[in-house]
């Protein structure tokens, strides 16, 4: 089967960039991205592609070139499903906030709604692709809904997890380490797998396209995220020990990373990992393991989250202790709010939890992030529901300029590793701050000796 029409349900951080790159690399395929969120679709269709709703280096250029040619953004979900041969599901699968599995299991209500909608509309055979990260065996549930509520047409379900990281989404998509496609081992399943392999092979070498059974593909995505997050928690555990022993975690990371069996990536000690995937996927893994009675497996992976929570709390405690055990009414400036550089995404960002702790201590928080708005910062804090929105509004200020944000502050805390922070005139910032002036570098991006030479009391992570 030759694919000429693709639909993607969900125009978010995964669906948007992935479909833009497919459209760019496969001009013969018409790609339509649909979403229920009208504002989001309008933003994707904004004549000025700098205003698309997701900031990713290189993305607006790709959208500018492909949009209107073979890339379309629409709220007409039914029409797009009806016309497509392949339907990608890229909707959100947050951690459940209610009922059984609350705080652990993935909430599959959006996935189920999609499956029901596809079943209702499809009048011809279709390939349905799971793009969102899902618990292992979700494909089975999707298949059951499609087969039982559909119009008697045949559906093939494929799992094709996305491994892109935010901030580098475009380069990850253009030059992936691998593409993973899981499907049924029946002849129809293999046909569907081959059709999707054909799409990716427009720009990815065939030997980088792995095909597996559905369950292996679903579980590989959770496993990859669990392994990556585990490396960060492992080095963060060492950072605490480094602080006690006089070792320097950056030196330790470098020394172990040169061992080719370990490798140097994902060994950067930080205030803690954030993002929409790591915590959610590990909680999900823990939940699945528990549901099969595998308590040792569950406890093993849960420790990665426990360590990450500890690291965030340790950072806020360190700020309070260093500032003479009180931050009440003190101005503490956060440089960075996004969960990592080069993205406007703030989901599960360490900044939110550190701010929450410090506000509990009655600190006044000022924030500068090059890509995050004040309303987003406030809605992130409101989501924690620790205090009223009015209180958050009174205690948190946001600035468009880092120097203004730091003016008169007692301490600056670096929460995101934005490159521009390294280029600042730190002497000027020092001169404008209360003395002694403290810097808590939650990303280890500044040079301790240089900061101390200016006069700062500087504390990084793990040294
Ligand atoms: C992750 C996976 O990398 C990606 O393959 C998957 O598809 C989705 O989840 P993402 O969450 O976008 O991607 O970003 P990632 O670069 O993995 O960073 C996650 C968090 O870990 C960030 O908060 C980052 O700052 C932190 N991190 C990363 C560290 O603290 N230290 C490191 O060495 C690397
Ligand atoms: P991700 O990071 O996984 O891409 P996002 O939250 O950024 O997650 O994007 C998911 C998108 O899916 C949201 O824009 C949401 O509006 C959309 N969505 C959820 N359910 C449906 C649905 N049934 N039909 C269309 N769009 C949906």
Among 104, 94, 15, smallest CA distance to 59 is for: 15
Taking only the tens place, the pLDDT of each residue in 358-411 is 999 999 999 999 999 999 999 999 999 899 999 999 999 999 999 999 999 999
Q: Would you say the CB of residue 14 lies under 6 angstroms from ligand 2?
A: yes
Mean pLDDT of 5-28: 97
Three-class secondary structure of residue 279 per DSSP: helix
CB 59 within 8 A of CB 169: yes
CA distance 354 to 158: 40
Residue from 13, 235, 278 whose mutation best tests the ligand 1 pocket (most atoms within 8 A of CB)? 278
CA of 167 to the centre of ligand 1 (A): 10
Taking only the tens place, the pLDDT of each residue in 131-167 is 988 887 888 889 999 999 888 899 999 999 999 999 9
Q: Which residues contact 146 (CB under 8 A, 6 or more apart)?
A: 115, 118, 119, 128, 155, 157
Residues with catalytic roles: 277
Three-class secondary structure of residue 73 per DSSP: strand
Q: Would you say the CB of residue 243 lies under 6 angstroms from ligand 2?
A: no
pLDDT of residue 132: 84
CB 361 within 8 A of CB 328: yes
pTM, two decimals, is 0.95
Q: Would you say the CB of residue 331 lies under 6 angstroms from ligand 1?
A: no
CA distance 154 to 186: 13
pLDDT at 105 over 90: no
Domains and CATH numbers, the chain: 5-212 (3.40.50.720), 306-459 (3.40.50.720)
Among 89, 84, 87, smallest CA distance to 108 is for: 89
CB 386 within 8 A of CB 365: no
């Amino acid at each position: 089967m030759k694919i000429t029409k693709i639909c993607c349900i969900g125009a978010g951080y995964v669906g948007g960039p992935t479909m833009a790159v497919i459209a760019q690399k496969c001009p013969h395929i018409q790609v339509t991205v649909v979403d229920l969120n009208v504002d989001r679709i309008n933003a994707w269709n904004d004549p000025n592609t700098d205003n698309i709703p997701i900031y990713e280096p290189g993305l607006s250029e790709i959208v500018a070139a492909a949009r209107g040619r073979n890339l379309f953004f629409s709220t007409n979900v039914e029409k797009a499903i009806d016309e497509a041969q392949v339907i990608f599901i890229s909707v959100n699968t947050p951690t459940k906030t209610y009922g059984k599995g609350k705080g652990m299991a993935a909430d599959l209500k959006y996935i189920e709604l999609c499956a029901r909608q596809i079943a209702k509309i499809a009048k011809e055979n279709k390939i349905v692709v799971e793009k969102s990260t899902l618990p292992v065996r979700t494909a089975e549930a999707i298949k059951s809904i499609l087969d039982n509520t559909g119009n008697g047409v045949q559906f093939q379900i494929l799992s094709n997890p996305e491994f892109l990281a935010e901030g580098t989404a475009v380069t990850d998509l253009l030059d992936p380490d691998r593409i993973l496609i899981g499907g049924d081992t029946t002849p129809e399943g293999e046909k569907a797998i081959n059709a999707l392999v054909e799409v990716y092979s427009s720009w990815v070498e065939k030997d980088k396209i792995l095909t597996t059974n559905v369950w292996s593909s679903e579980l590989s995505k959770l496993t990859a995220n669990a392994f990556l997050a585990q490396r960060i928690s492992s080095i963060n555990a060492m950072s605490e020990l480094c602080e006690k022993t006089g070792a320097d975690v950056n030196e330790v990371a470098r020394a172990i990373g040169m061992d080719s069996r370990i490798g140097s990536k994902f060994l950067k000690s930080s205030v803690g990992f954030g993002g929409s995937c790591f915590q959610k996927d590990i909680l999900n893994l823990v939940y699945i393991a528990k549901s099969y009675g595998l308590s040792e497996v569950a406890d093993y992976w849960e420790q990665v989250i426990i360590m990450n929570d500890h690291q965030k709390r340790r950072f806020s405690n360190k700020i309070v202790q260093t500032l003479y055990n009180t931050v009440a009414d003190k101005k503490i400036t956060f440089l960075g709010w996004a969960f990592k550089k080069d993205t406007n995404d703030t989901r599960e960002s360490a900044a939110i939890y550190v701010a929450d702790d410090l506000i509990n201590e009655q600190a006044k928080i000022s924030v500068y992030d090059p890509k995050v708005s004040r309303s987003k910062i406030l809605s992130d804090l409101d989501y924690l529901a620790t205090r009223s929105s009015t209180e958050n509004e009174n205690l948190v200020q946001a600035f468009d300029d880092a120097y203004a944000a730091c003016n008169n502050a007692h301490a600056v805390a670096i929460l995101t590793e934005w490159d521009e922070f390294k280029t600042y005139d730190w002497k000027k910032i020092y001169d404008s701050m209360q003395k002694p002036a403290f810097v808590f570098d939650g990303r280890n991006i500044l040079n301790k000796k240089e900061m101390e030479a200016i006069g700062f009391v500087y504390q990084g992570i793990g040294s």
